[in-house]
Amino acid sequence: MKAYVIGDGEGLSALKLVEREIPKPGPGEILVKLKASSINYRDFLTISNAGARGITDERIPNSDGAGVVVETGEGVTSFGEGDRVVGCFFQNWNSGPIEPETMNSALGGPIDGVLAEYVLFREQGLLPIPDSLSFEEASTLPCAAVTALNCLIETGDAKAGSTALILGTGGVSVFAQQIAAASGIRTIATSSSNEKLDRIKSMGADELINYRKTPDWEKKVLELTDGKGVDVVVEVGGAGTLPKSIEAVRIGGTISLVGVLTGGLIDPTSVMRKSVRLQGIYVGPRDMFARLLNAIEQNDIRPVIETTVPFKDALKAYELMASGSHFGKIVISAD
């Protein structure tokens, strides 16, 4: 089979297409023929900076993929040949709080990912794809969509009538807007692009801020919330935007931190002064993903895909990610 691996090279040139044996499923394992894989910023960083992230062998990248079951190992009862399935980001996190051993089961990092023609999953590391979704759409969900749900509702405790600040228009942020719109959560969206702001407004965003035109956007957020601040922030920027997010959130509010896009230093004084809950979010467990899939089907949510590139041209997907020009998700489809 063909598979991409992270080999020698600088930046994205480390991505190599190789031939590997089709793996054989062992007890509790399932072999899936991949139909589509979406990419996240984490995947881009893993390829372009593998050595610093502790990846020294030829690791297959990408955490998010969907396909068809072709073979099952001994003891597998949940899935059979021909089933349409989507992988879970963590292969051994079923429910409850994250544990140290969970971290070692993340696809496309500690273990091989899904950018290959055939992929082995653990039985507990798969879920059925709703009939309403294509393989390409399903492939966008395991990391970004589960993260968005966790940020807003599972950890963020937002509900109908709450107000959320959503930074940017990448995969997590666009899913956060879709989930918020379906849940009756008021949103304030930011971007440096008026075109992207128009697109997210068409998806239900209530207020828009161009952060290049309004560099003190945290003050605008306070103005739009009558000086109170938002209930929850989906913080994808990291240290560079976190001080502003702290000012923009209400006293006792939640900042769900998922991003490392910008550098900077943080003074924790305001976190203490406002009794802010600053929560790091690293995707979520299998049962959370199952709840998300049910909500997507019930609310007819369709993932926003910026572009789809063929497997043989996978490098182009990461180059688009690097440009920052995309809105929503980028998908690599089987040739």
CATH architecture classification, 2-143+284-333:
Alpha-Beta Complex (3.90)
CATH code for the part of the protein at 156-280: 3.40.50.720
Number of C-beta neighbours around residue 323 at 10 A: 8
**Region(s) of the chain under CATH 3.90.180.10:** 2-143+284-333
Average pLDDT over residues 95-102: 93
CA pair distance 42, 174, nearest whole angstrom: 17
Tokens at residue 287, please? 């049962």
CB neighbours of 233 closer than 8 A, spacing ≥ 6? 164, 165, 167, 245, 248, 249, 253, 254, 255, 256
Q: Which helix (H) or strand (E) holds 331?
A: strand 329-333
Q: With cut-offs at 50, 70 and 90, classify the pLDDT of residue 290.
A: very high
DSSP letters for 58-86: -----SEEEEEEEEE-TT--S--TT-EEE
**Region(s) of the chain under CATH 3.40.50.720:** 156-280
Average pLDDT over residues 224-241: 93
pLDDT value of residue 305: 95
What is the reported pTM? 0.95
pLDDT value of residue 263: 56
Crossing angle, helix 314-323 and helix 41-48, to 10 degrees?
110
Q: With cut-offs at 50, 70 and 90, classify the pLDDT of residue 240.
A: confident
Residue 298 has pLDDT above 90, yes or no: yes
Q: Which helix (H) or strand (E) holds 187?
A: strand 186-191
pLDDT value of residue 51: 59
pLDDT value of residue 280: 93
84 DSSP β-pair partners: 68
Residue 164 has pLDDT above 60, yes or no: yes
**Which has more confidence, 58 or 166?**
166
Q: With cut-offs at 50, 70 and 90, classify the pLDDT of residue 49.
A: confident
Residue 8 has pLDDT above 90, yes or no: no
Average pLDDT over residues 143-147: 97
Q: With cut-offs at 50, 70 and 90, classify the pLDDT of residue 53.
A: low
Residue 140 burial (CB < 10 Å; 0-12/13-18/19+)?
Answer: buried
Distances (CA, A) of 299 to 86, 133, 203, 295, 329: 19, 12, 13, 6, 19
